[in-house]
Amino acid sequence: MPLKVSHLPFVFLFSFFTLSCDSNLDIKPSQEIDEGTALDNDGNIKSVLIGAYANLRKSELWGGRLLLYSEMLGANNEIRWTGTFSQPREMLNKSILTNNTFVTDTWTVAYSTINITNNILDAISKVNEADQDKVKGEALFIRAIVYYELVKLFCQPYIAGNTEVNPGVPLILTPSRGGKNNGIVERYPIEEIYKQIIEDLSIAEQILPDTNGVYASSFAASAILSRVFLQMGDYASARDAANRSLNVALSIGKSLMTNYADAFNNESDSQEDIYTIQVNSQDSENAMQLFYSTPEYGGRDGDVSILNAHLELYETGDDRLLLFQERAGALRTNKWRDPNRNVKIIRLAELYLTRAEANFREGTSLGATPLEDLNRIRRRVSLPEKSSVNLENILMERKLELAHEGHILHDIKRTKGFVTDNNDPALKYTFDDPKLVFPIPEREILANSKLIQNPGY
């Protein structure tokens, strides 16, 4: 008996010595796939494209924070930050720390999105030929808007001039996969960045279809292009791009919503939407709603409140005033009230206002006269139509129409205005004040020896 039993361990032992070969150490992940697989066929590359949108929709980018940054830096004593988060408060107080996590995270998510689009563009030949234009156009669209958002926040305004010298951001057009770029890249001049953005968007506009569901379409590309030209002060090009976008959009049935309030808190895209970020209960992040809304609607504690100084800008009877409501102890805007609603990026109204302004500045009437476009906006909010128009009217209408939608800072900068300090109303920051520009994140300066920090940090 003992003899027999004593054989048992040997059986055990030898089976394990033989079974336990290398294959037991070769375990593949179950939730993720290898980068080679992700980029080697049509289906997977299209999934990676969805992944690029998913990155663009993150709260650090168009999921809301990019809009919030503009509102905080451009608060102008019209809104107040009362939340506990110090990152937006630093922006409001124009004392941003170089390790502000919102700033850092936006930078990193931006370049991660750029890297995905570069990977797609690099592997474009593996996409079915019939779909190559669409996939390429969408990738270019996403890359261009991320660069555009970066150059607006991290660099001196284009309008301040010296664009061949003033540093932009690192311009990366190749994927990092397989060591193709190690990320150690200097800041290219602002001019170069804008050139690339315009080139990408122009190609995208040409090769993208006119309708593309909730994804990038040709008129979304030209709409963004009109923003870019407006920011550069190239009014003729801005006018043309806005007009092209309007023409396509109207031809597929886009129009202003009858009630101003109906243009917001939409579960799916409204008639007025040119481009939005899709939000739903499965994927519910909307940083604007989080900070602007109140607890009963799933917001934080009502971190942003609207000050009377802002309300005083409206004419009496303006329907847009109906969107302000006392909630959680202070005045709030209802534009971002409900949870799980899309993030509005471009509405048709913006294109009318851009066309009006550009036409006015150029003395032209492409598509419509500035007065016609302006009155379109005023009529909708029950304001009397104007009989004549000046630049100030158009800019004020734009400010109020697009208030709290992430435009204020960039409009102040491009029109060479100023931002009033919230704590000390006597203190004004001019459009090119370095305090209105984000610092390059400290972690990035340390990781990339070629980067130079912005003045004032």
Q: How far is the CB of 339 from other proteins (least distance, A)?
A: 6
Q: How far is the CB of 382 from other proteins (least distance, A)?
A: 30
Q: Between 327 and 366, how does the x/- string for binding to other proteins read (CB under 8 A)?
A: -xxx--------x---------------------------
Which residue among 60, 200, 273, 444 contacts other proteins (CB under 8 A)? 444
Residues 6+ apart with CB under 8 A from 59: 65, 285, 286, 287, 290
Which residue among 1, 164, 387, 392 contacts other proteins (CB under 8 A)? 1
- In the complex with other proteins, the residue whose CB is nearer, 3 or 130, is 3
- In the complex with other proteins, the residue whose CB is nearer, 13 or 322, is 13
212 contacts other proteins (rule: CB under 8 A): no
Which residue among 121, 214, 321, 331 contacts other proteins (CB under 8 A)? 214
2 contacts other proteins (rule: CB under 8 A): yes
301 contacts other proteins (rule: CB under 8 A): yes
DSSP letters for 6-22: HHHHHHHHHHHHHH-SG
311 contacts other proteins (rule: CB under 8 A): no
Nearest to 73 by CA among 403, 343, 410, 345: 410
59 contacts other proteins (rule: CB under 8 A): no
406 contacts other proteins (rule: CB under 8 A): no
Q: How far is the CB of 405 from other proteins (least distance, A)?
A: 21
5 contacts other proteins (rule: CB under 8 A): yes
- In the complex with other proteins, the residue whose CB is nearer, 63 or 370, is 63
DSSP letters for 411-430: HHHHTT-EEE-SS-TT-EEE
Residues 6+ apart with CB under 8 A from 145: 56, 62, 224
Q: How far is the CB of 85 from other proteins (least distance, A)?
A: 10
Distance CA 38, CA 28 (A): 15
Which residue among 183, 209, 434, 455 contacts other proteins (CB under 8 A)? 183
Query: Which pair of tokens denotes residue 415?
Result: 């029109």
44 contacts other proteins (rule: CB under 8 A): yes
The CB density around residue 130, as the number of other CB atoms within 10 Å, is 8
Q: Are 284 and 377 in contact (CB under 8 A)?
A: no
Q: Contacts with other proteins in 142-181 (CB under 8 A)?
A: 170, 172, 175-177, 181
Look at strands 428-430 and 79-81 and give their pairing: unpaired
Q: Are 302 and 288 in contact (CB under 8 A)?
A: no
Site residue total, other proteins (CB under 8 A): 100
18 contacts other proteins (rule: CB under 8 A): no
Q: Are 431 and 412 in contact (CB under 8 A)?
A: yes
Give the alpha-carbon dihedral of 450, 452, 453, 455, to 10 degrees.
180
Q: How far is the CB of 326 from other proteins (least distance, A)?
A: 10
